[in-house]
Amino acid sequence: MAMLELDFEKTVRPLLKTYCLTCNSTSKQKGELDLERFVSMGDIRRHPLIWKKITEQLEHREMPPADEPQPSVEEIGRLSGWIDRTLGALAASNSGRSAAVRQISKSNPNDSNR
């Protein structure tokens, strides 16, 4: 998990800052999504469905919007790969525990875990 956290700091956060935080930050939340609030693995652990949705939107080129700077195929691969590895590690660390996974509502995607 330590390597994933290091990758988050060195790779993921800079990509989020470059391509996502213009529209999805604490000060500006299109779709009510604040990615700036994710500063640790604990924050990510509490909201895995948001990260799964990010992967889907990146891979389908739904985000960033067409009129915004776009990540390269390599950058999308790095970000999606990190998300997949992280969600896999989180699932493995939760194996044997019962956990409720809540659906992200369209009205408030930040509210995935009440």
Which tens digit of pLDDT belongs to each residue from 25-66? 777 867 778 888 888 888 888 999 999 999 899 889 999 989
Burial label for 9, CB within 10 Å (0-12, 13-18, 19+), is exposed
Q: What is the dihedral of CA 31, 33, 36, 37, to 10 degrees?
A: 150
Rounded to the nearest integer, the mean pLDDT of the chain is 82
Distance separating alpha carbons of residues 37 and 39, to the nearest angstrom: 6
Residue 111's pLDDT is what?
56
Contacts with 37 (C-beta within 8 Å, 6 or more apart), sequence order: 26, 43, 110
Alpha-carbon distance 113 to 103, whole Å?
Answer: 8
CA distances from 40 to 68, 70, 77, 97 (A): 26, 25, 21, 22
8 A C-beta contact, residue 28 and residue 22: yes
Kindly report which listed range (15-24, 50-59, 93-102) carries the lowest average pLDDT score.
93-102
Domains in the chain: boundaries: 2-93
